[in-house]
Amino acid sequence: MNKPEPRTYVIAAVIVIVSVILLVRLFFLQVLSDEYEVSALNNSQRHIIQYPPRGIIYDRDSIILVSNKAGYDLMVIPQQVKIIDSLRLANALGIDKESFRERLAEASFYSRFQPSIFYKMLSAEEYAGIQEILYDYEGFYVQPRVMRQYADEVGAHFMGDIGEVNDNVIAADAYYRMGDYAGVNGIEKYYEKSLRGKKGVKIFLVDAHNRIKESYKDGKFDTLPEAGKSLVSSIDIDLQEYGERLFVNKIGGLVAIEPETGEILALVSSPGYDPNLLVGRNRGYFYDSLLNAPNKPLFNRAINSAYPPGSTFKVVQAVIGLDENLISTSTSIPCNKYWVNCHNHPPATSVTKAVQFSCNPYFYEVFRRMVQRGYEKSIFRDSPIGLDMWKEKVVLFGFDQSLDIGLPSVSSGQIPGSDYYDALYGQYRWAFSTIYSLSIGQGEILATPLQLAHFAAIIANHGYYYTPHVVKSVGEEGKEAKYRKKYILPFKSEVYPPIVEGMKNAVNAPHGTAGLARVKDVTVCGKTGTAQNPHGEDHSIFMAFAPMENPKIAIAVYVENAGYGGTWAAPIAGLMIEKYLTDTITNKWGEERILNANLIPETADEKED
């Protein structure tokens, strides 16, 4: 008998090993794994998602700002389609016959046996128009959805909107699947997980052709959707609407805050848009139109536009100068226009008068004392030390940081330090003489209307604040803990009264720069600013709070390309303050002046015409 060749053993061993692997795999699939069962169930079941009502958004007085309305997706299962008269259904949907065929072909390419969206976001009225004929079209059925409905045409920038999720969103959160909607910006995006609720599902048995036969196990495994949490915003919608009216034909923004709580009362960005344009099937068309519209109406200038703060920043210099004993309340500095230009005014014989008159040379000298402290003999080595010490104090007021107010993508602005100028000029190649424009809020300083309103609230509170926020409560949970925390700045309490007095005089006393912000029977404290703009007219800026005692509102206003702060920004702030505090307007002439003003710069084409 011949002895088997070695190759025979190898082949036998391979056969045994493969057999063992197959047996182990078969045991795993049949005994340990539910993979086949799941696959079989997928082929015999249809899961129809039950979308929850999205949380309602209210204003601070429980007025509904955003609610829901019924929407419907027309679904199709191509394998079941037996069309007798496609033109009839196409006409009912408002599409032509060719578009109808293309949509059906796309659905077939996706899957002949699985449902896909044929026509998305039908309104209740559109659904009613096809409901009576839909039974003639086998393979088509309607999937209920939820659409957003905005109560008015205001508040788009803080409320935001919802849009269809993309692949990145789906990959990041297993909650979503293709065709779902989520918050795209504003409150809708920031509070998406609270607002969206929880989807439910109804499970049906289907036959081999994917036609529904009956409910799976009498609905034993069906789940009900859970509604999203409703939110109460901090916004006063009447004040918001008034602010948007005042900003018609103007570019810029304003933010108003309740100082004692940090609650944002109004957040205006102009130009604005009707939030209802971004609801439903035509969202993409209107979004593209707004994206390409002049003056960028989708851009939220209140939280994203970073401008030089101009002379409003002198109040920051005054607080730091007094706190560090670089000046006293009675320090007198001559208005020497050789240092930096200034308008004509009485002598600034105290910090109060310097704020009242907005004296440029005064704050030039205050800033020089902050930067050139004498720690090094060389001014090129000394200035970086002083500048960084100054910046360390400035950022305490909320500048150079993105404030977490309950909205996404908040700009941080900019406060330059020594690293900025080292990169720009080289180390030890710059000094105070290079950066003196920072003294009056020019140069490389950038701040948003939000940051300036927050700063005004800090001054109104004499040194404390709550983080500004746009939502007062989430569901039954109340206000979030991060917005209940009180922060006290490490500046001496005695620095604030003389500065507040100067701000009061700037509005209410002779030679003040903000007389147009006066309000009858209300003591308004404010500071004007005029920011140089290399691309056109200067920006008009004003920050204020009122009343002087127990302040109820702090506000910052930026009007692009409008000139002096006292001419346009100050009267807008005054009207907003009066509206909020008294719910009336006594300055009818001033109101008409603002409402009728068109401060949008002419384009080159308009000038030629």
Tens digit of pLDDT for each residue in 501-532? 999 999 999 888 899 999 999 999 999 999 88
pLDDT reported for residue 4: 59
* Mean pLDDT value across residues 286-300: 93
pLDDT reported for residue 358: 95
Contacts (Cβ under 8 Å, ≥6 apart) of 88: 133, 136
pLDDT reported for residue 143: 84
Contacts (Cβ under 8 Å, ≥6 apart) of 426: none
The answer on pLDDT for 223 being more than 50 is yes
* Mean pLDDT value across residues 535-556: 94
pLDDT reported for residue 203: 86
Contacts (Cβ under 8 Å, ≥6 apart) of 67: 56, 148, 149, 151
pLDDT reported for residue 29: 54
Is the Cβ–Cβ distance between 239 and 579 less than 8 Å?
A: yes
CATH of domain 46-233: 3.90.1310.10
SS3 406: coil
pLDDT, tens digit (0-9, with 9 covering 90-100), for 65-121? 999 988 888 988 888 888 768 888 888 898 998 899 999 998 888 888 788 889 988
pLDDT reported for residue 509: 93
Is the Cβ–Cβ distance between 176 and 168 less than 8 Å?
A: no
pLDDT reported for residue 49: 83
Residues 161, 452: Cα–Cα separation, whole Å? 26
The answer on pLDDT for 449 being more than 80 is yes
The answer on pLDDT for 535 being more than 80 is no
The answer on pLDDT for 41 being more than 70 is no
pLDDT reported for residue 36: 44
The better pLDDT of the pair 180, 503 is held by 503
Q: Using 50, 70 and 90 to split pLDDT, how confident is the model at 457?
A: very high
Residue with tokens 């360390």: 392
Residues 564, 531: Cα–Cα separation, whole Å? 8
Residue with tokens 């000139």: 563
pLDDT, tens digit (0-9, with 9 covering 90-100), for 295-335? 999 999 999 999 999 999 999 999 999 999 999 999 999 99
**Architecture per CATH, 237-565+590-608:** 3-Layer(aba) Sandwich (3.40)
Residues 323, 467: Cα–Cα separation, whole Å? 23
Taking Cα atoms as reference points, which of 364, 360, 314, 353 lies closest to residue 331?
Answer: 353
The answer on pLDDT for 415 being more than 70 is yes
Taking Cα atoms as reference points, which of 101, 56, 108, 61 lies closest to residue 83?
Answer: 101
Q: Using 50, 70 and 90 to split pLDDT, how confident is the model at 144?
A: confident
What's the whole-number average pLDDT of the chain?
90
**φ/ψ of residue 262, rounded to 5:** 85, 5
HSE (side-chain half, CA atoms, 13 Å) at 604: 0
Hey, what amino acid is at 225? P
pLDDT, tens digit (0-9, with 9 covering 90-100), for 91-104? 889 899 889 999 99
Domains of the chain, by residue range, sit at 46-233, 237-565+590-608
